[in-house]
Structure formats: structure tokens, C-alpha cells
Amino acid sequence: MFITTVPLKIFKESNDPVNDPVNDPVNDPVNDPVNDRQKIILNLIKNNKFATREQLATECNISIETIKRDIRKLRQLKLIKRIGSDKTGYWKILN
């Protein structure tokens, strides 16, 4: 009969500046609910309330899907609202 003993390395907290950020949560909530790109979108809508998603995407140099996601977020935050249809309507800034 053989008995094998494997020593376990005990991990302890350290003040290692290199590895400590790895242990921080990745998805910490951001204090500012609106990012810089969304602020640009709000400014573009403020200057042209009839701007289409395509125009906004071109101005921001991003994809249509990203514009849709950002607009969805701005709507959820109740910062903008679409008045009328997608074709003939316009954006209204609520705050």
C-alpha cells in the first residue's frame, strides 16, 4: 500500500499591485449611466431631431446595431422618446 501526500498551497490575500486588479469585479456598475458615445448621440439629436438611425450611425462612425442598442438604452433611461413613425417621426429629448 502506498500513501501519497500532496502539499496544498494556501492562498492568502496580498497587497500585490499587479494581481489585485485581476480580483476586482469586471462588471462594476458605472456611476455615469450614459457613456461618451451616447452623449454624442444626444447632441446630434438635439441639433437635428429628424435624424435617422443611419445618419446617427454615420456621424458616430458606428454600426446600425450599435446605434439601435444605444438608442434603446437612452429610451430605457427616459432621456429620449420617438414621436411619430420611424419614417416621418422625430426624436424628443426628455431631460
Write out pLDDT tens, residues 39-88: 999 999 999 999 999 999 999 999 999 999 999 999 999 999 999 998 89
Measure Cα distances from 76 to 18, 33, 69, 70, 83 in Å: 38, 11, 11, 10, 15
Determine the structural domain holding residue 89 and report its residue range. 35-93
Q: How far is 38 from 40, CA to CA, in rounded Å?
A: 5
DSSP-derived 3-state class of residue 43: helix
Q: How far is 81 from 75, CA to CA, in rounded Å?
A: 6
Residue 29 lies in a domain: no
Residue scoring higher pLDDT (2 or 85): 85
- Whether the per-residue pLDDT at 5 is higher than 70: the answer is yes
Residue 23 lies in a domain: no
Residue 78 lies in a domain: yes
Residue 69 lies in a domain: yes
Q: What is the pLDDT averaged over residues 5-21?
A: 65
Residue 25 lies in a domain: no
Q: What is the pLDDT averaged over residues 29-38?
A: 78
Residue 39 lies in a domain: yes
83 forms beta bridges with: 90
Q: What is the CATH number of the domain that holds 73?
A: 1.10.10.10
Q: Provide the domain count of the chain.
A: 1
Residue 62 lies in a domain: yes
Residue 28 lies in a domain: no
